[in-house]
Chains A and B, each alone.
Chain A
Amino acid sequence: MMPLPLSLPPSDLILMALVIPFVGAVLIALAGRWPNIREMVTLVTAVSLAVVVWSLIPVLQEGGRPELKLIEMLPGLSIAFKVEPLGMLFAALASLLWIVNSVYSIGYMRGNNEQNQTRFYVCFPIALMAAMGVAFSGNLLTLFILYEVLTISTYPLVAHKGDAATVRSARVYMGILLGTSIGLFLPAMIWTYSLAGTLDFTPGGILEGKIAEPLVGVLMLMYAFGIGKAALMPVHRWLPAAMVAPTPVSALLHAVAVVKAGVFTITKVFVYIFGIDFLFNQPSHKLIIWIACFTIVVSSFIALRQTNLKRLLAYSTIGQLSYIVLAAAVLKPLSEVGASMHMMAHGFGKITLFFAAGAIYVASKKTDITEMRGIGRRMPWTMAAFSVGALSMIGIPPTGGFISKWYILGGAIQDDNYIALATLVASTLLNAAYFLPFIFAAFLYEEDVKPKKDHGEAPWPMVLALTTTALLTFAFFLFHQPIADLEAQILVK
């Protein structure tokens, strides 16, 4: 993979990664009246963004850390960007999947005859721009700014349908995300600034020696719950509430961009603000492990009881996100790498699952798994992809989820952390418990709830998209080594 704009200096590439989606949003707004041109602009924007972002990868593999400083916002604090391996992975994942998601969206929006399509297509690039900004941020202030932009730009997408129930759920979404970020994340950030005098992401952290127990624990908890996008319990309610959004939104944003922004932020705070070694020496880091384990187990139980497919996937996501938080909090080299690998593996797997759920909805208007027996015969490609995604969630080779689980388990063993081990084993079993029966029923049983009208597969763009992401899951299993090597760079001080 040797993409083109290598002649440009890396800081320009960072700037382009932010400007391209913004310009795209403006052009989409202008092209609102001509749907085909509008969709074309979306695809071109997505592809150019991915090209720009992926061309930064070689720079990083060699150990480079491109920087870009924009403007000094407060005395001593600027809006600055600095690319490092964690952020690179997140940005690469989001930009790649945006292309696939755009193809899928076209199929979904047209297949369902949705209204307000221009508003939908305009908000997506802005959300992606914010995600790129979060990924490439060089200090906590820049990250916070773009984190909030992400929240606000996704509101119109969540409230897309516009009916009373959707607006109410969207209220929960905004309430929890804004409440946690302004109520906990912001004071934690300002407190960090007043302790350390800076907010730059520095390998080894900036809080060494500046704060002690028990205040470290308080600060850690403020970050853990303040970064509501990571959906640790009890601030997780926004994720099921966001399922009222159209499935392309749930797929890219709530399986990839928004939630990954959350766990990415937590990981970045742990690694670059607290510092792995500093945090490991503080007893209160075990609190986070407990909270993550609790979230994993409880969310899996709740998922077991769900019959609405999207809500089931939402609770599954909550659990999977806590895998990443757990891995990050174990603070051992293997698990840190595992955390970043799982961001990718879960991204590919979950987006496939959501794509499949949306395909089922568009084709048959069904949302409840009890009505979906036998649907595997009508929609074989869709259910096959779904199975691949489910296997990745459970962690069975040859899917990507197996690799990341391997790393996380390795890190837990390195730490002799039996709680983490037990939780991982238990949740694997629970994942199997809520995915496998559905898959068997879909393929092997007779259809007992007749659909309203006869249907086959979903529209072809959707099927193309979900097949692509399922294949990416396999690809991740096979070609994960360069990614692991890149992420291992974060362990070097």
Chain B
Amino acid sequence: MTLYDQLPALVIAVLLFTAPITYMMRLHGFPWAVATLSVVTAFIISCSLAATVFNGETIIYEMGGWSAPYGIALHIDALSALMAMLITGASSAALIFGARSLADEVGEETAPAFFSAWQLCTAGLVGMVITGDAFNIFVFMEISSLSTYVLVSAGPDRRALIATYRYIVMGTIGATFYLIGVGFLYMVTGTLNTADLAARVGATENIRLVLVAAGFISVGLAVKAAVFPMHQWMPRAYTYAPNAVTVFIAAASTKVALYVLIRVDYAIFQNSIANHDIQLTLFLVPLGVLALFAGSLLAIYEKNLKTLLAYSSVSQIGYIALGIAMTSVAGLTGAIVHMFNHGLIKGGMFMAVACLAIRYRSVNIANLAGAGRAMPWTMAAFVIGGLGLIGVPLTPGFISKWYLVLAALEKGGAGAFLIAIILVSSLLAVIYVWKVIEVAYFKAPRANAVPVTQEAPLSMLIPTWIVVLLGIWFSIDTRMPVGMASRAAEILLGVK
């Protein structure tokens, strides 16, 4: 038993066990340092796990040596590893980036609790993606949710509190629905291990109960994933959370709920419920289409830059939902690649917003007039992110759109309708991105505005640009994200 074999458990254990240490640090800057160190370690471990599963292998790790289905097994394949890299990567990037902005927004006394909550949140999210036990998913889901509530509530504006409260209510309803669904599945099959569930669900005659379970699980996860119209908690939570927190959760947390949805649907239900793909299509396609339009339209009229980006996320999640509903290798590849790409795009854009906020002291679009001249590097990063949302080639969004349109083409006539929707919503993205560009570059700053002459601090600007350049890199050399995503899609659909 080498250390290498223990990596799957370590990636969570490192985060969990260092969290109390962070909490005990009272000296200035230490909580951040310990948290960053442990999150970066987790990132390195995830990368190494990803390298192992890149070629389609699966790692199965039994906790405590108890074999499944009696014990809890960790199950890591291409999809899990990609998500784990995304989560820990986003977490590390946000922490390193946020040293300055968090010091600004989160007070000294709350720092130890805040940073240990950050570690717990990362641990919970990573746990969700690597576990192979349905109830374990719930446990990690709640670990990550509770810590996310703590992180969001630390925002400087008092509206963060009410946003947190609404998030708590909706999040708990979602998680509880998921729990009910898992309970029904247990009643039918007597097991909680996902691989075992997949085998047994097919063999049962009690289809009605399985369908009810699927319903509860899907709706519960849709709430957590902020699929329209269960997205209500997201815009305010993103807006009033501290800026670095928004970077992290925008890139990671809703994607993980979508991951669980993909897993549950494709690993457990796909081969056992007849017409599962039609039902999935009927459920997700209308919601996805609505999300695309509602999110973009709401973004166009929004005056607060963070809320605008949050609504934009609502519509981007619609793309992922459409990709999932297409039940084909191309569609799932597009959905998974977009989870990764959107994490990069939105992470970079929220970082740029945080840079703007630290100088302008506001995220109201009207107050950011003239930012193109005062902070050219920051705005350039924002513009590149915006082009990614539109789906211009050489940005990550293009690759995702390519696969989604390709998948829609395979569907024939109905596909043409979907293609039209996908492309029209990209054009709506042009409107809200250009709105910000015009104010930043072509409007003169207001007479009574805070005069801004400096660029953002380098400790924030450099991580922002690293994320942006990574996005451009992965949209030209797409071997890693597309490779892992298509392998994941093949595994999920049972195609080899």
Residues of A within 8 A of B (CB): 71-75, 79, 141, 144-145, 148-149, 152, 159, 162, 167, 171, 174-175, 178-179, 182-183, 186-187, 190-191, 193-194
- Across the interface, which residues of A come within 8 angstroms of B479, CB to CB? 72
- Across the interface, which residues of A come within 8 angstroms of B409, CB to CB? 190-191, 194
List 5 additional contacts besides A71-B476, A75-B482, A190-B406; criterion CB under 8 Å.
Answer: A74-B399, A182-B392, A183-B426, A186-B401, A194-B406
A–B complex contacts, Cβ < 8 Å, 22 sampled: A71-B477, A73-B478, A74-B399, A75-B486, A144-B393, A145-B393, A148-B393, A149-B394, A159-B442, A162-B442, A171-B434, A174-B430, A178-B430, A179-B427, A182-B390, A186-B405, A187-B405, A187-B419, A187-B423, A190-B406, A190-B409, A194-B409
- Across the interface, which residues of B come within 8 angstroms of A74, CB to CB? 399, 402, 478, 482
- Across the interface, which residues of A come within 8 angstroms of B401, CB to CB? 186
- The 4 A-B residue pairs with the shortest CB-CB distance, nearest first, are A145-B393, A190-B405, A194-B409, A167-B442
Residues of B within 8 A of A (CB): 387, 390-394, 399, 401-402, 405-406, 409-410, 419, 423-424, 426-427, 430, 434, 438, 441-442, 475-479, 482, 486
A144 to B393 CA separation, bound complex (whole angstroms) = 8
- Across the interface, which residues of A come within 8 angstroms of B406, CB to CB? 190, 193-194
Q: Identify which of B410, B427, B486 contacts A194 (C-beta below 8 A).
A: B410
Q: Is the CB of B405 within 8 A of A183?
A: no
A194 to B479 CA separation, bound complex (whole angstroms) = 20
- Across the interface, which residues of B come within 8 angstroms of A71, CB to CB? 476-477
- Across the interface, which residues of B come within 8 angstroms of A194, CB to CB? 406, 409-410
A182-B423, A187-B423, A194-B410 known; A79-B392 Cβ under 8 A: no
User: How close is B315's CB to chain A, nearest CB, in angstroms?
Assistant: 15
User: How close is A259's CB to chain B, nearest CB, in angstroms?
Assistant: 20
- Across the interface, which residues of A come within 8 angstroms of B423, CB to CB? 182-183, 186-187
- Across the interface, which residues of A come within 8 angstroms of B486, CB to CB? 75
- Across the interface, which residues of B come within 8 angstroms of A190, CB to CB? 402, 405-406, 409
Q: Is the CB of B427 within 8 A of A182?
A: yes
- Across the interface, which residues of B come within 8 angstroms of A75, CB to CB? 482, 486
User: How close is B285's CB to chain A, nearest CB, in angstroms?
Assistant: 18
A43 to B427 CA separation, bound complex (whole angstroms) = 37
- Across the interface, which residues of A come within 8 angstroms of B482, CB to CB? 74-75
A167-B442, A186-B423, A187-B405 known; A174-B434 Cβ under 8 A: yes
A145 to B402 CA separation, bound complex (whole angstroms) = 13
- Across the interface, which residues of A come within 8 angstroms of B442, CB to CB? 159, 162, 167
A190 to B434 CA separation, bound complex (whole angstroms) = 26
- Across the interface, which residues of A come within 8 angstroms of B475, CB to CB? 73
A446 to B210 CA separation, bound complex (whole angstroms) = 91
User: How close is B316's CB to chain A, nearest CB, in angstroms?
Assistant: 15
- Across the interface, which residues of A come within 8 angstroms of B393, CB to CB? 141, 144-145, 148-149
A74 to B398 CA separation, bound complex (whole angstroms) = 11
User: How close is B129's CB to chain A, nearest CB, in angstroms?
Assistant: 25
User: How close is B330's CB to chain A, nearest CB, in angstroms?
Assistant: 9
User: How close is A179's CB to chain B, nearest CB, in angstroms?
Assistant: 5
